[in-house]
Amino acid sequence: MTKKEKVEKIIAFLEELYPTTPIPLDHKDPYTLLIAVLLSAQCTDKKVNQITPSLFAKADNPYDMIKMSVEEIKAIIRPCGLSPMKSKGIHGLSKILIEEHEGKVPESFEALEALPAVGHKTASVVMSQAFGVPAFPVDTHIHRLAWRWGLTTGKNVKQTEKDLKRLFPESIWNKLHLQIIFFGREYCPAKKHDPYLCPLCKDMARKAVFDEAAKRQKG
């Protein structure tokens, strides 16, 4: 199967499977989305959604957030992991939003990525989901599936993002990245994955994926 055929199959199949793509992280505006995405680093969306109500009850805007100390923020978000770094980032970026952006989340990749603890993936999610700007945030799910399907040889998410942007129409990036995430969680997990039973891998996975499954079965 050629890459073009794979792309067409993926688009059609995922559109049928996931015609709507609700945003996984609970939020009410760009600021609360930004904080939720920051917290989701090396943490599940489910856990983040359990933690953010407590945080946002105290501070759901940068003005209230900077009234809290870094230690107070850290105590609330500790279950999300990486709390020392994340708490400093949340407090620091909230201060910058007030000082440089009138308390609003900026609508540009450059400005977002200049904020503490905000990398390209976080900025891409905010630009895509908060502002509707075409972006293709690549997380571990998307990186894994893109490699399994032979759409990229990238060793990192940066290269995978470039390859996927080249293959798929820009008009569907925002929806497709969520569809792939949903599919990865439901059908194409990182561990104990059987490509013969996976609705997409069974037809388009690279040989190494089947070889790995065979070794696992023998072992």
Domains in the chain and their CATH numbers? 3-20+137-218 (1.10.1670.10), 30-129 (1.10.340.30)
- pLDDT value at position 192? 87
- Candidate list 45, 139, 194, 203, residue with the active-site label: 139
- pLDDT value at position 70? 98
- Candidate list 60, 86, 121, 163, residue with the active-site label: 121
d(CA 214, CA 135) in angstroms, rounded, equals 36
Active site residue 139: yes
- In tens, the pLDDT along 24-56 reads 999 999 999 999 999 999 999 999 999 999 999
How deeply is 144 buried, as exposed, middle or buried, from its count of CB atoms within 10 A (0-12, 13-18, 19+)?
A: middle
pLDDT band at 114 (very low <50, low <70, confident <90, very high): very high
- Is the pLDDT confidence value at 218 over 90? no
- Is the pLDDT confidence value at 129 over 80? yes
Cβ atoms 199, 156 nearer than 8 A: no
- Is the pLDDT confidence value at 139 over 90? no
The structure's pTM equals 0.92
- pLDDT value at position 141? 86
Active site residue 4: no
